[in-house]
Amino acid sequence: MWRPMLHAVVLAVLLWPAASAGQPQLAEAWRPRPLDVNAPVLQEPTVQQYWHFLQNYTEVPLKSFDQANAPPVLRVTNLDDATFQQLVRDGVPFVVDDCTRGFDEDAISEFECKDFADRWPSGNMRAEYTPGQYHIYLKEPDWYTNIYPQRSNDEHMAGSRKIAGPYIWHVKDEEPLKTKRSVQKHWRTPYFLEKSLANRVEANESFEFWFSLAGGGTFSHADAYCETTISMQFKGTKRWRIQAFPEIRHYFNASAFGDEQIYNGKQHVRWTPETEFNVGPGQCFIFPTGYIHETFVDPDRNDHKCYTASTFQFNHPRQVNLYRSYMSRFSMSHYGMGEPCLDKIESYATLLQDKSRFTAPPDKQNMLREAERVMQMVDSNGDGQIVASELYDAFAAKKKATRKEILDRGDFRYNWRSMLTAKQKEELTEESMRVWVEDALQYHDVSRDGQVTLEELAYNFLHWNVVRSRQLALRKIREKKPEAWVQKALEIEKDYLRRFFCEDPACPALAELERYGEHMKSSKKAAKAAFRKVRGMFEGEEGDEVLTMVDRTSGNQEAKRVSELKSEL
C-alpha cells in the first residue's frame, strides 16, 4: 500500500535545541519559505528566504568577512532517513559529524596516503594547479611527502600564501576494473545512505579520492554535478568557505563560476562567502548543486603531512525544491547550458506531459488549460488538490507504460543497473517510482503544505514554459556576426524580463540590461566577448579545464583550455 512520505521530519542537530524525551524536534520551521504564485515567474527567493541558516544573514564585502559574525552551517548527528531526504530535496548544505559511524578498522577511512601508494602503486592521478604533474602514479612517494605551493589569490582564505592543489584519484572512471574492485573492498558507505539501494550502489561506484598536504586547497568554484555531492573527510581538518549560487538575471551574465572566476571582480558578482567552517576526520560535508566553495588544509591546524578525503554523489532523492526555486539562474549557467541538469528535472516540471507544449512561446492561458487538463487526470477524488497517493496511482501504480516513462525521462536508468540481480532491479524500480512521486509532489507544492492546487500547477507550468522557451529562443539565433547576434539576443532578453520578471515599468533589472546593451552596441570588443561567452557556454566550453602542455623537446610549458585543443584537432 502506498503511503506518502512525512513532510514533518525529525532532526537531531548539534546547533539546534535538544528535543525533549519522547518528543522529537520537528523541522518544518526550517524549511524554505513558500513561493508566491502571484509573483512574476522569473523572480527567485533571496538566500535569507530560502535557507534557514541564512535567515539573518547580511552580505558583507570579502574584506569585512568575519567568521565570528557569520551564520553557522547546519551540523547534524544521528541523521534519520526522512530528515536526510528533506534536506537533500531542499538543497541545504550541512555537515554530518558522525559520517563514518560504524566503519571498521579495515575501512579506507583508516588509510594514510602511504597506504594508498603501497596497496595500489599503479593508480594514476593528477595534481590540480601543478604544471608537469597531470599524471602521477601513487607509487611515487614524492606526492605525499613534499608540497609544491603553486600560486596564491588574495581573495582565497589563505591570503597571500601560495597553495598547492590537491591530488585527485578518479577511481570511479579512470582506473581498470580490477583496481576499482580492489578499492571497493575497503569502501564503506555512510549510514544515512544505507536505506536506499540506489544510494548504496552509486556511492560505491562513484567515489574519488582527494589527497592534500598541509598548505593545500582549492580555489573557489562551482562543481559541474547535477546531483548532491558528499565530501567525506578521513584524515586531517579541512576548512571550507561557501556561497550560494549567485543570481543571474539575463544570459549576458551567464557563468560557470569555474576555478577563481568569481575572484577579483571578474564576474557580475563578487566572492562574498556566507560562512566558514571546519570538517574533520569522520565528518562529511553534503552540499547541493551550485554552492560555490573553496577549501584549505591550514598548516596552522594540521601537522605537516598528507591527508585524505573522498568525494562522491548519490541519486535519491533529487534536489527538486532547490531546482524549482532557482531554475532561472541555473538555466543561465553551465548547469543549464552545457550540463544536462535541466533535462534531469524535466519529468517533474512537466509531469510527463508532451515536452513540446512547454517550448512554445510562453502563454499564461495555455499553461492554465494544460494544468486544468492534468489536474482532471490526476485528481481522482475531485477535491481540487493533488496528493502523493494520487500521483502514484496516476503514473506509477503498476502501469507499465508510465513506469517506463518515469525511468526514462526521470533519468533513473543508472549505468550500473546491469550489475543488479532481477530482484534488485525490481527493488530499484519501485524505489525510483516512490522517489519520483515525492519529488514531483514537492516540486509543484510551492506552498509547502503537502498538496498541489490548480494555481500552483499552472504557475509551475508557466515557469517551466518561460525558462525553456527563453533558452530555446537564444539557441535558435542564426546571426553569425557578434553585433547582429547581440542585437537579437537583447530583444529576446528584454522581452522576457519585461513580461516575466518585472512587476512595474520602473524595473531596475531591465534598466541594467538596457544600459549593458548600449555598452555592447557601442563596443565591438564587448559585443564579441558576449557573443563568444554565451555561444561557448551553449557548446559546453565555459569553465572548461585548463591543461598544462609540456613540449617534450624543449621542456617549455603552455596552459591551454580543452576547448582550444579541440579546435586544433
State pLDDT tens for residues 119-146. Answer: 999 999 888 776 666 678 999 999 999 8
Phi then psi for residue 413, to 5 deg, are -90, 80
> What's the pLDDT at 447?
96
452 pLDDT higher than 60: yes
246 falls in which pLDDT band (50, 70, 90)? Answer: very high
> What's the pLDDT at 456?
98
pLDDT tens-digit map of 168-195: 999 988 888 999 999 999 999 999 999 9
Measured CA to CA, the distance from residue 101 to residue 111 in angstroms comes to 16
Q: Which residues contact 417 (CB under 8 A, 6 or more apart)?
A: 425, 428
pLDDT tens-digit map of 356-370: 999 999 999 999 999
Residues 348, 353, 355, CA angle at the centre, nearest 5°? 90
Q: Tell me the C-alpha to C-alpha distance, in Å, between residue 274 and each of 55, 227, 359.
A: 11, 22, 36
Measured CA to CA, the distance from residue 319 to residue 328 in angstroms comes to 15
In the chain, the domains with their CATH numbers are 81-313 (2.60.120.650), 340-476 (1.10.238), 477-538 (no CATH)
R_g of the chain, CA atoms, integer Å: 24
> What's the pLDDT at 417?
94
For a pLDDT cut of 70, what percent of the chain falls above it?
Answer: 89
C-beta neighbour count of 422 within 10 angstroms: 7
Measured CA to CA, the distance from residue 401 to residue 532 in angstroms comes to 43
> What's the pLDDT at 229?
96
> What's the pLDDT at 25?
43
Residues in the chain, total: 569
Measured CA to CA, the distance from residue 477 to residue 486 in angstroms comes to 10
For range 378-392, the mean pLDDT: 97
> What's the pLDDT at 301?
84
Q: Which residue has cell 574584506?
A: 63
Q: Which is more confidently placed, 18 or 345?
A: 345
| Helices and strands of the chain, counted as H and E runs | 19, 17
Q: Edge-to-edge, what's the strand order for the sheet holding 275-279?
A: 217-221, 292-296, 238-243, 275-279
> What's the pLDDT at 173?
80
